[in-house]
Amino acid sequence: MEIDPFIFRSSIFILSIFIGYYVVWSVTPSLHTPLMSVTNAISSVIIVGAIIAALAGNSESIFNTSSFFGFIAIILAAINIFGGFLVTQRMLQMYKKKKDKKK
Amino acid sequence: MISANLAAIFYLVSGILFILALRGLSSPDTSRQGNYFGIAGMIIAIVVTFLSIGNFSTSLVYVIIFLIIGGAIGAFIAFKIPMTAMPELVAGFHSLVGLAAVFVAIAAFLNPAAFNLGNVGDIKLASLIEMSIGAAVGAITFSGSIIAFLKLRGIMSGAPITFSGQHILNLILGIGIFVLIFYLCKTQSTNIFWTVIIISFLVGVLLIIPIGGADMPVVISMLNSYSGWAAAGIGFTLENTALIITGALVGSSGAILSYIMCKAMNRSFVSVILGGFGADNSADDKKEKKDQKPVKSGNAEDAAFLMKNASSVIIVPGYGMAVAQAQHALREMVDKLKKNDIKVTYAIHPVAGRMPGHMNVLLAEANVPYDEVFELEDINNDFANSDVAFVIGANDVTNPVAKTDPKSPIFGMPVLDVEKCKSVLFVKRSLSPGYAGIDNELFYKDNTLMLFADAKKMTEDIVKNLD
């Protein structure tokens, strides 16, 4: 009997929760704010769905309802991707060790 | 056009890169590299999506245009935002993820064929459940984050908004969503789908309005978690590994942060969610006590004198420092102290500020090296051996009541043992209680000197007096 692909995806999902659990516990508390902004940025990988939706319409009717939502979602996710990664980068750039800059 | 299998492998690669991005954050040294992994993962995911669709018609141009518009807005915000505004920025970003999830779900519902989910009116059952859950969680994330954003921004009062029957209403609406999803599966009706989304928007609002300002660290972490689960829900719909992995990572990350925040406040997650904390009912009792007890107050000169003659100083920053933007002045003060060979360290409580790690970012911004900044457990024993504790903008997290008075609402909350220092300098605008709405015993201790002023102004004055 064939295994339903849903089971495979659920397996990936559950294993990823475990990975997330251990990886996030090892994040140093001083970097919790960058952690939030970077998780924000990566969750915008939802843009993948937005692109599929946007490109689903054929060339003549680019802006039918379904792809319209896709296009808006692209903007929203793109704000998040660029904003999220850049602001994380900006924050991480500020974390310096004692000897690096001082004296 | 690349095959679906190859695309799936690439999505897996980008998922792994996202894991490495989070892994990098285990130390500031590796964090920047981690961020590049994250960016690489994102680029791979986007490029692979283009390739797997293989539709290089005019619409691709539009997609790129929209990407650039969004990217430009995001980049602009990222460079302009002051570090003190990070909590509202993150809340705002969560709302975007939530809304994007809703829109993707709507697009999939209206045009299921494009996603291989069946046809309009005949969407696969599993996909329908996944997309409606994704849409519902996304909608809750969106409206909840908007409320959190408004509260953090100060546009909306941080005070909890409660009304009778609130929890029952939430419960009914929550059950309603599940019932509607059930009927949606039976009827495939567009109207029910829209209703689910609208009710979810409403639930998001109702869920966040009763939660007070001091609980915002939990709220932000919780919404972070929701945005992850929404992404995972959409990931299942789209059968996309990258999205499922990311959703699970973000979801568990937010959940862990919420847990850490709750623990740092000694409050259960449920009690935070039910809200109403800080609305306070014992106001009269508090005022009486305040009138009776004497308080020693001093000025910048006294503070400067005390610190100059100390050999070690511990600084305890809190939300007040962020509000007053005092971090740069503080750093100047510390530089002067160090010139006099005084040992200075920073003690940070997990819930100081309005989001996890908020104080660390502000201090980093003011060029404070991160190895001088310590977490609660690492530094709490040092207070007894230090001469001066300089509390700037923190309050509840230093309240000894948490250790002594079992009746206190914050009893059991881990606090910084500032009172063990030889002397305590407490910068505060007035004697008003903190967000927990309780009086701080520390104000009335013999070794406490209150410095009534704006945190930034006081620090600047101290700097002048240190010369």
SS (H, E, C) B164-205: CCHHHHHHHHHHHHHHHHHHHHHHCCHHHHHHHHHHHHHHHH
The answer to whether B56 and A51 have CB atoms below 8 angstroms apart is no
ipTM above 0.95, yes or no: no
SS3 call for A51: helix
Q: CA geometry: angle at B254 spanning B252 and B256, to 5°?
A: 65
Q: Which residue of chain A has the CA closest to B31?
A: A92
Q: Name the DSSP letter for residue B297.
A: B
Range of the structural domain that residue A73 is part of: 30-102
Helix (H) or strand (E) holding B422: none
Measure A2 CA to nearest chain B CA, in Å: 17
pLDDT at B34 over 50: yes
* Chain B residues within an 8 Å CB radius of A11: none
**CA-CA-CA-CA dihedral for B382, B388, B391, B397, to nearest 10:** 30
pLDDT value for B277? 57
In a domain, A40, yes or no: yes
Reply yes or no on whether the pLDDT at B288 is more than 60. Answer: no
Compare CB distances from B75 to A35, A70, A83 and report the shortest one's residue: A83
Which string of DSSP letters, residue by residue, matches B76-137? HHHHH--GGGHHHHHHHHHHHHHHHHHHHHHHHHH-GGGGTSEETTEE-HHHHHHHHHHHHH
Rg (chain A; Cα; Å): 20
> Of B100, B109, B192, which Cα lies nearest the Cα of B137?
B100
Spatial separation of the C-alpha atoms in residues B145 and B157, rounded to whole Å: 15
Give the tens place of pLDDT for each residue, B303-320. 888 888 888 889 999 888
Q: Count of CB atoms within 10 A of residue B452's CB?
A: 15
Domain annotation covers residue A25: no
Q: Which residue has the tokens 């692909």?
A: A5
Task: Find the mean pLDDT for residues B188-208.
Answer: 91
User: Active-site residue numbers of B?
Assistant: 396
* Mean pLDDT, range B86-100, rounded to an integer: 93
Report the C-alpha gap between A45 and A50 in whole angstroms.
9
**Residues B51, B52, B56, B61, CA torsion sign:** negative
Do the domain assignments include residue A10? no
- How far is the C-alpha of B383 from the C-alpha of B418, rounded, in Å? 6
pLDDT for B436 equals 62
B contacts of A33 (beta carbons < 8 Å): 86, 90, 355-358, 360-361
CA distance B149 to B93: 9
The confidence score (pLDDT) of residue B217 equals 85
Q: What is the pTM of this model?
A: 0.88
Q: Is residue A13 part of a domain?
A: no
Average pLDDT of chain B is: 85
Q: What is the mean pLDDT of residues B26-35?
A: 90
Mutate to test the interface with B, among A21, A46, A99 (most CBs of B within 10 A): A46
How confident is residue B39, by pLDDT bands cut at 50, 70 and 90?
Answer: very high
Has residue B283 got a pLDDT over 60?
A: no
Q: Which token pair is B355?
A: 């989001």
Min mean pLDDT across B213-227, B425-439, B453-467 is at: B425-439
Is residue A6 a part of any domain in this protein? no
CA A88/CA B18 separation, integer angstroms: 14
Enumerate residue ranges in chain A where pLDDT < 70. 57-63, 99-103
- CB contact (8 A) between residue B81 and residue A87: yes
Structure confidence at residue B452 (pLDDT):
85
| Count of domains for chain A | 1
Q: What confidence tens digit (pLDDT) does each residue in A33-43 have?
A: 999 999 999 99
What is the pLDDT averaged over residues B344-349? 90
Residue B445 · residue B424 · CB < 8 Å: yes
B1 Cβ neighbours under 8 A, 6+ residues apart? B51, B52, B53, B54
Is 60 exceeded by the pLDDT of residue B385? yes
Residue B77 reports pLDDT greater than 60: yes
Can you say how many angstroms the Cα of residue A88 is from the centroid of all Cα atoms in its chain?
13
Instruction: Report the residue from A13, A32, A84 with minimal CB separation from B93.
Output: A84
- Residue A1 domain-assigned (yes or no): no
pLDDT tens per residue across span B334-345: 888 888 888 889
Pairing of strands B423-428, B388-392: parallel
Using the predicted structure, report yes or no on whether residue B289 has a pLDDT greater than 80: no
- Chosen from B81, B253, B259, B349 to mutate, greatest number of chain A CBs within 10 A: B253
Smallest Cα distance from A59 to chain B, Å: 6
